[in-house]
Amino acid sequence: MTTPLPQGFRAYATNLGIKDSSLDFVVVAADHECAASGLFTQSHFAGPSVRVSREHVKDLRARAVVVTSKNANVATGTQGLADAREIVARVATSLGAQPDDVLIAQTGVIGRLLPMDRIRSGLAALPSPLPSTDADVVAKAIMTTDTVHKIASAQAGAAMVVGVAKGVGMIEPNMATMISIILTDALVNPADLDAMFRRVVDRTFNAVSIDSDTSTSDTAIVLASGSAGPVDPIALEAALHEVALSLTKQVARDGEGATKLIEVCVDGATDDRQAKRVAKAIVNSPLVKTAVHGADPNWGRVAMAVGKCSDEAGIDEQRVVIRFGDQEVFPIQVDAEGLERLSAYMRGAEVRIHVSLGIAQGSATVWGCDLSDGYVRINADYTT
């Protein structure tokens, strides 16, 4: 069973020979210019795709998104920037659009120029109109080391929201994460869509971490065609959040070498910012991640991760409560039988760590994964 694109969108995916014979190119386009928003990495090594898309989405309008995978086109100088602009211009010409109506995302190995001769040949054969309304094809075409394609959908009144994402490594977001494209046929004011998307990203894509490394190419884009007419703004934001949260968890669950999804909830913090900072310290800790991988209820590693947030005011050991699942492990001491129950719980596919700081009302939930030898092998051999 496939997931259809929302009304007003069509797509085309193919192989251009960027690295191998798998899908490595996709373009998704609306019938006309529509409301748009984009959030991107804050890396000082941000790739040309990020720089071009930032320019083109400033007016909160766009018509299409093009993604090339298997080569990030990062740290490639003026030639890399020229290549990204050329791809955008060629796609725009094929669509009968202006170049600044087209956004671009690129993902893969850093520091290598694109094989532009092969890309030009492939772009010359772009069909018009775009032939597909299958969102699954879009999700598959943006994959790199992903083991599964990632897709989610939700309803908002008469409108549909459909999102796809890729990303399993180099994920610790700063304004966005991985690559994600969310499409809706709701009619919405561009400024309202932008505000909604920023709130949603902060609670979802900005709350996932695989390995604490921020990508040079992080891109999250939303387009709204308007074909389904206006919908209740609260319902639309809820649907955007549902889709983004599903994609966030799918990314965390598919982390490179991962065997378990980790959810960390921190509450009782000074504010939400502090709660997220502490939660990220826990989910990013290699010692916590390896303990989860080994089903070892070593709550001392969680205490360590909380404690190392030494510049966060108000954290006091005497007020902190740590739980694995629903079982309190600190300050209440767990006996041998309780530890065995906890170990059994941690052998499951999902592990929840809950820390209450006992300061105020701030809270945040973040997601990540365990750390296995598979992660080392994937990344040790990545370019060879």
3-state DSSP call for residue 87?
Answer: helix
Catalytic residue among 3, 177, 184, 214: 177
Specify the residue for token string 């598959």: 140
* Phi-psi domain of 358 (left: phi exceeds 0; alpha: psi -120 through 50; beta: other): left
* Cβ proximity of 64 and 253 under 8 Å: no
How far apart, in whole angstroms, are the C-alpha atoms of residue 177 and residue 171?
A: 6
* Phi-psi domain of 330 (left: phi exceeds 0; alpha: psi -120 through 50; beta: other): beta
Tally Cβ neighbours within 10 Å of residue 157: 14
Does an H or E element contain 363, and which?
strand 362-369
Specify the residue for token string 């597909």: 132
**β-strand pairing of 25-40 with 9-14:** antiparallel
How far apart, in whole angstroms, are the C-alpha atoms of residue 41 and residue 31?
A: 28
* Cβ proximity of 12 and 130 under 8 Å: yes
- Cis before residue 331, ω within 30 degrees of 0? yes
> Residue 118 class from Cβ within 10 Å (0-12 exposed, 13-18 middle, 19+ buried)?
middle
Tally Cβ neighbours within 10 Å of residue 283: 28
Please confirm, yes or no, whether 41 is among the known catalytic residues.
no
> Residue 19 class from Cβ within 10 Å (0-12 exposed, 13-18 middle, 19+ buried)?
middle
> Residue 54 class from Cβ within 10 Å (0-12 exposed, 13-18 middle, 19+ buried)?
middle
Which residues are part of the catalytic machinery? Answer: 177
